């Protein structure tokens, strides 16, 4: 009888060890990291019946703010191969942009770049960063991704190449390390 609790205890720890092995697998090699460079154009179409960014929230004070401080947009913006909106669609930038500076035009961007063409079709990159839109070149962080971009890290450099009533085109160069 003296052995009984010991056996129970043993089974208990065995159960823990077994359940642990179910969710904690061996570490495996990831292969060598690759560096990919992506070059494409991002478009915001504000005019027409289907604007690609929409204002979803603002504070009362936003309307009187010189920098639109407090406005929050949700966007589903096309990404194209060339600078013209009519050039080949390669994906979309879907996410949130909010004006977050009281002293300059500056957005916090949180975007998923969803690729729908070519070797990155079906993969996404998650880009987060500061976008002081009047500066020539801005830089944001690639903080992750999925598909071929699992464990991605990198940066995006962007420059506005067209700013007209109801339309904005931004050139993106993205450098990504992935596996
Ligand atoms: C915002 O403005 C509306 C309409 O003038 C007013 O009813 C509301 O109380 C204001 N909200 C705040 C937080 O000041
Ligand atoms: C974009 O392409 C359209 C149709 O091909 C053309 O009419 C337009 O002039 C082009 N715009 C620019 C800025 O090149
Ligand atoms: C991208 O992938 C989807 C889903 O696998 C497929 O339906 C589509 O044809 C692909 N597009 C291109 C341009 O390869
Ligand atoms: C993107 O890279 C190209 C080629 O190196 C360069 O000409 C262009 O100025 C770059 N644009 C940005 C926004 O970094």
Note the pLDDT tens digit of each residue in 34-71: 999 999 999 999 988 999 999 999 999 999 999 999 99
Burial class (CB in 10 A: 0-12, 13-18, 19+), 60: exposed
Residue 116 near ligand 2, beta carbon < 6 Å: no
Residue 122 near ligand 3, beta carbon < 6 Å: yes
Residue having the nearest C-alpha atom to atom 7 of ligand 4: 173
Partners of 145 in the β-ladder = 125
Distance CA 97, CA 107 (A): 6
* CATH architecture entry for 4-178: Beta Barrel (2.40)
pLDDT at residue number 19: 60
Smallest-distance ligand from the CA of 159:
4
Residue 117 near ligand 3, beta carbon < 6 Å: yes
Domain ranges of the chain: 4-178
Model pTM score: 0.85
- 53-57/89-99 β-pairing: unpaired
Per-residue pLDDT of 75-91, as tens digits, reads 999 999 999 999 999 99
Residue 88 near ligand 2, beta carbon < 6 Å: no
| Residue whose C-alpha is closest to residue 152's, from 171, 179, 132 | 179
Per-residue pLDDT of 128-162, as tens digits, reads 999 999 999 999 999 999 999 999 999 999 999 99
């Amino acid at each position: 009888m003296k052995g009984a609790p010991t056996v129970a205890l043993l089974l208990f720890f065995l159960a823990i060890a077994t359940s642990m092995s179910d969710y904690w697998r061996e570490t495996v090699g990831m292969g060598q990291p690759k560096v990919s460079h992506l070059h494409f154009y991002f478009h915001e179409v504000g005019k027409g019946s289907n604007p690609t960014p929409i204002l979803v929230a603002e504070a009362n004070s936003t309307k009187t703010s010189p920098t639109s401080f407090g406005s929050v947009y949700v966007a589903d913006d096309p990404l194209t191969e060339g600078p013209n909106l009519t050039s080949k669609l390669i994906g979309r930038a879907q996410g949130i942009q909010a004006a977050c500076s009281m002293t300059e035009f500056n957005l916090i961007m949180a975007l998923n770049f969803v690729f729908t063409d070519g070797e990155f079709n079906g993969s996404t990159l998650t880009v987060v960063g500061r976008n002081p839109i009047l500066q020539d070149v801005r830089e944001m962080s690639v903080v992750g991704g999925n598909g071929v971009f699992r464990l991605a890290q990198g940066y995006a450099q962007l420059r506005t190449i067209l700013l007209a009533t109801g339309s904005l085109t931004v050139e993106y160069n993205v450098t990504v390390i992935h596996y």
